[in-house]
Amino acid sequence: MMKLVDIISTSSHYLLLVHLLHLLKWTLNVAPPQKTKKRKADLMIDVLERQIEVINCGIASVSDAIKEGNINSNKGIATAEKGRLHCYSEDEVFSEIMNIGLPEHLQLDAFLLLIKSQLKVKAFFGVPSDRLLELLMKMMYGSRDA
């Protein structure tokens, strides 16, 4: 025999069950009391109330799980965004080269050097602004592998 909980799987069935419970209670209050019918109806009401309680607990559990999943998902997205490397555009690179005071005749050479490697761009933007010119000169003239 199927349990009532197995049959009630959608919210419309749940609402129907609640409506049936209210109808039974109303019938008991309006109809003339007959001991066996009243006892059976009382038992049915008890069963329905327990089933509604079980369903409410299930709905609350699912709701809590969804909320927790959303919280964890939002934390994961925030962490992923923090870990994502910023990809500097050519405009950003050239603009910064112009801002640090590199002589104009060296600006294009510096630009071409930096855009060859994302690692060099990352290093360039990772240094404090007061040391950028020094770093760029080392990259351009310091060592061959820089």
Which residue range(s) make up the domain with 117?
A: 90-142
The whole-angstrom separation of Cα 12 and Cα 27 is 22
pLDDT, tens digit, for every residue of 5-26?
Answer: 444 455 566 676 777 777 767 6
pLDDT, tens digit, for every residue of 59-109?
Answer: 888 888 888 888 888 887 777 666 666 788 899 999 999 999 899 999 999
Instruction: Identify residue 42 by its one-letter amino acid code.
Output: D
For residue 28, CA distances in Å to 19, 25, 50, 59, 123 come to: 14, 5, 18, 29, 81
9 and 69 assigned to the same domain: yes
- Domain end position, chosen among 83, 113, 128: 83
Say which residues have a Cβ less than 8 Å from residue 47's Cβ, sequence separation at least 6: 4
- Domain end position, chosen among 41, 64, 83: 83
59 and 112 assigned to the same domain: no
12 and 71 assigned to the same domain: yes
75 and 106 assigned to the same domain: no
This prediction has a pTM of: 0.42
77 and 102 assigned to the same domain: no
Q: How many domains does the chain have?
A: 2
C-beta separation of 89 from 95 below 8 A: no
17 and 61 assigned to the same domain: yes
56 and 102 assigned to the same domain: no
